[in-house]
Structure 1
Amino acid sequence: MDNERESSVRNLFQGSRKKPGQSTAKMGNTQVDRYNASIILFYFLGIMTQVTNNFIINPQLYWRYKFRTIGEPWDPASNTTNEMQNDFTAEFSVVANTAAVIGLGIAIVVGRLFGSITRIFGGLCGFIVGFVVLSISAMINTDTWQKEYLCSVLVLFFVLTCFGSVFLVALFEMAAKFTPNYYAATISGQAVCGIFSSAIQILTLMQNVPASTSGLLYFSVAIVCIVLTTLAFYLTMRNSSFFRYHLEQVKIQEDQKEEITKDIIFMVLRKQLLYSLVMVLVFGATAMVHPSITSTVREIETLKLKEKIAVLEKENSDLVNKIETMRQEHRNTELELEKKLKRIMQPEKKWCRWTPEDIASAISLRSVTA
């Protein structure tokens, strides 16, 4: 009798295991992520979370040309800069950090009014409109109103960053309903965006793209990427039963809204205190290097190829670090699961001594590591 019960519990544990790209729907039907379309989509959605920061700040030669001293010969290799050129990167960094904080507050308010799918589509559409405006301005002569143009660009960047905050929160809400490898794909996509934009920067430097059109190249590439990602998101949502199944879980979760009390908020803050301090240190150290240092990369006559790929190597290191972090978290979860199962499945224990908390904890751990 004990053997039969032990066998049934083992089957229960094994039944809760799901392969990557696979989930069990109602009535026992298994949904499969065909061609890994959903996980590829999450890579691109992760790229979109950083597209405003990387594709606007990186064309430094274009911004130097736009804010050059009028009446003096333009020399892209010159290290002499005016006041507007010197303050440009600092002003963008201040606007980006301010907009990120305000954008999170907006994301909380908007999240109570609209579903995650609506917010994701809204964020992508906002990105498209913003980069279209930047592309049009790249083809306009702004020499006679440089200060006004700088203010308008900063305002537009502020709005795009707020859109990005709303988009980021909605994306992570949706990714949390999938298996952990889909969440990891979103994190990896954020690092891939930096690599992609740095590669474009290197190509523009190597091909001697004119400063007046280098910005248009960046913005056009960003528009193409955003449009393709939006179409891929729509088609996947429409044609993939695997993706639709998880979207239904998101809608069910959104319909079951719970009241958030002060006790819950303080409890979450206490549990996240250590992680928050680590994030402050990591992002603080990163902010000292990028974009304040990496954005100053420009073409000079003695520049060698290995120096041109320095920024790309930096972004590659960021990607490798994020991937290894996700793998280590996965291994730690597997070890915790193994200890839990050994404690539950000891032969000398009887069925009556297996507490419901032990069984529920083991099942939840198996679901997380699937």
Structure 2
Amino acid sequence: MEREEAEQRLLEESDDEAVGIPVDRYNGVYIIFGILGLGSLLPWNFFITAKEYYLFKLRNLTLSTDDVDNPQMQTEMQTMFEGSVAVAATLPNVIFNFLTAMFTQRLPLKGRMIVSCLTVFVMFILTLSFVNINTDTWQLPFFVSTLVTVVILSAGSAVFTASLFGLAGTFPPRYMQAAVSGQAVGGLFAAVANLLTLLAGSTHLHSAFAYFTAATVVSFITLACYILLYYIKFSKFHLEINVTIQEDGFASSSADSISQRSSYVFNVLRKIWPEALAVFITFSVSLSCFPAISSSITSLHKDSSDLTGKYFTVIVCFLLFNLGDCVGRVVGGQFQWPKISQPSLLVVLSFLRVVFIPFLMLCNAQPRAHLPVVFTSDVYPVVMILLLGLTNGYLCTLCMMYGPKKVLLENAEFAGAAMSVCITVGLATGSLISLLLVKML
């Protein structure tokens, strides 16, 4: 263990291979981690972006073309779709993130990464195949099959994401930053794609075909990039160390009692709990506001132009938040404050973001029946949503970089996966809070 820590320290401090440890030439492995991060969320971002496609597939077939998109004439399946997808995605996401974290030493990393990535790839091929199939005569089976697909896709994505963060935790901190920045790029890319399809006036079917084709291609590229890590000297060096640690951990854990395993988990969590709490609070606050509250904010001049009407939500809510999130994660990789030695300050800053909740609720979020509109200018939601994204990305990056580096190398993978669990629970908590907040408007 001391030898491994010395090798890790030499690797982070050296700029050449004079000490016999490989270096990341041309930042190739750094870029691959960014692609892996992008691949962990981009397919799902494209899936939820295709909401209008699913509403079209589940439309009331007795209505005229002009009335199909009328929210007042939605079918029961259309009304239930968004909530059903949220439940079908959230539960397996939380469960499989937790299971992945708990079995990091018992299930080989390579198997977890490849099987989960293949699962996502196959699910998107299946989803893509439905786009050009007429499902009008079997809407209920299509609705059920979509929810089953979401469950399997979410489970596979959860295993891949938790394993990715566990893997990044065994590399120097900048590779964790690359992974989380890649995730933000995925969200930004999906938001831009959504805007472009609106500008092009694409049909629901054409947009969905483009989304799911891109998601399928990205899933394949993600799998190829992960396999490539085993052929690059720098990443191969770290992966071999990680495999050795896993094998030793598996051998020892086979004889471990439940109390010994519990002690191991407790000792790791005891060291990373401030970062875990901070990242939980960060995502709870963000999901309380985004997208439920922020996407309901309309321009005070919505009838004056397409920019303040048709494109306002796409640009101000989705594009600005994802842009801020992406920038915040990049900045977090270059500038770290609070420092790793100031975990309490990190928790305080995460908690202070709660102010975004009332601020955004007091903007022109519609419909509303209880609260007055206090911020009577479109500038307010623009600034607030941008800051919400910036602070989310920045604090998330710091937490994810610091957590795994506060434990021994042999525990770094579990620490990274545990941090992923906290993100997932934060996302679920924030989503539930948002339902209450929408009712309070």
TM-score normalized with structure 2 length: 0.64
| Corresponding residue SS for 2:243 | helix
| CA distance 1:66–1:44, shift in 2 (3 Å) | same
Q: Is the 8 A contact 1:33 1:242 kept in 2?
A: yes
| 1:177-196 matched pairs, under 5 angstroms | 177-196=170-189
Distance 2:134 2:127 in 1: 13
Name the residue aligned to 1:261: 261
Alignment of 1:46 with 2:37, yes or no, is: yes
Is 2:118 aligned against 1:115?
Answer: no
Number of residues paired by the alignment? 322
Q: How does 1:1-370 map to 2 (within 5 A)?
A: 16=9, 18=11, 28-75=19-66, 78-82=70-74, 83-108=76-101, 111-238=104-231, 240-257=232-249, 258-259=252-253, 260-292=260-292, 303-304=306-307, 307=312, 308-310=314-316, 311-327=318-334, 329=336, 332-333=339-340
Q: Look up the SS of the partner of 2:133 in the other structure.
A: coil
Give the SS at the match of 1:114: coil
Q: Displacement of 1:330 after TM fit?
A: 7.0
Structure 2 vs 1, CA of residues 227 and 262 (structure 1 numbering), >3 Å: closer, same or farther?
Answer: closer
C-alpha separation between the residues in 2 aligned to 1:180 and 1:20? 12
Rounded to whole Å, the distance in 1 between the matches of 2:271 and 2:102 is 23
Q: Which amino acid aligns with 2:243?
A: K
**AA partner of residue 306 (structure 2):** L
Structure 1 unaligned blocks of 5 or more: 1-12, 337-363
Question: Counterpart in 2 of 1:343?
Answer: none
Is the contact between residue 130 and residue 160 of structure 1 (CA under 8 Å) also seen in structure 2? yes
Q: Secondary structure of the residue that 1:88 maps to in structure 2?
A: helix
Q: Secondary structure at the match of 1:141?
A: coil
How far does residue 159 in structure 1 lie from its aligned partner after superposition? 0.8
The letter of the residue matching 2:315 is: I
Deviations 1:307-358 (A, max 9, x none): 242211111112233344455547724999xxxxxxxxxxxxxxxxxxxxxx
Distance 1:293 1:20, change over 3 A: farther
Verify the 8 A CA contact 1:89 1:291 in the aligned structure 2: no
Structure-1 separation of matches of 2:77 and 2:242? 46
**Share of identical aligned residues, percent?**
26
Alpha-carbon spacing, 1:104–1:18, altered in 2? closer, same or farther (3 Å): closer
Q: 1:81 to 1:251 in 2, by over 3 A?
A: farther
Distance 1:74 1:150 in 2: 21
The one-letter amino acid of 2:242's match is V
SS in 1 for 2:22: strand
TM-score of the superposed pair, with normalisation by structure 1: 0.76
8 Å contact 2:36–2:225 — kept in the other structure? no
Q: What runs of 5+ residues in structure 2 fail to find an aligned partner?
A: 1-5, 254-259, 344-407, 413-441
For the pair shown, which has the larger CA radius of gyration, 1 or 2? 1
Q: Contact 1:23–1:242 (CA<8 Å) still a contact in 2?
A: no
State the distance in 1 between where 2:140 and 2:297 align.
24
Aligned to 1:7: none
| CA RMSD in angstroms, aligned pairs only | 3.4
Q: Give the residue type in structure 2 aligned to 1:130.
A: M
1:253-294 deviations in whole A, cap 9, x for unaligned?
111104443233334444454444434433233323444467
- 1:66-111 Cα offsets, whole Å, 9 max, x none, are 1111121234764445132232222111222111122124425664
**Structure 1 counterpart of 2:193, one-letter code:** I
Residue type of the alignment partner of 1:309: I
**Aligned partners of 2:48 and 2:297: how far apart in 1?**
12
Paired with 1:21 and 1:58, the residues of 2 have a C-alpha distance of 44
CA distance in 2, matches of 1:231, 1:144: 39
Which SS does the other structure have where 2:124 is aligned? helix
Q: Per-residue deviation at 1:150?
A: 1.3
Distance in 1, Cα, partners of 2:269 & 2:103: 21
**Which residue identity does 2:278 align to in structure 1?**
V
Alpha-carbon distance, 1:41 to partner: 0.4
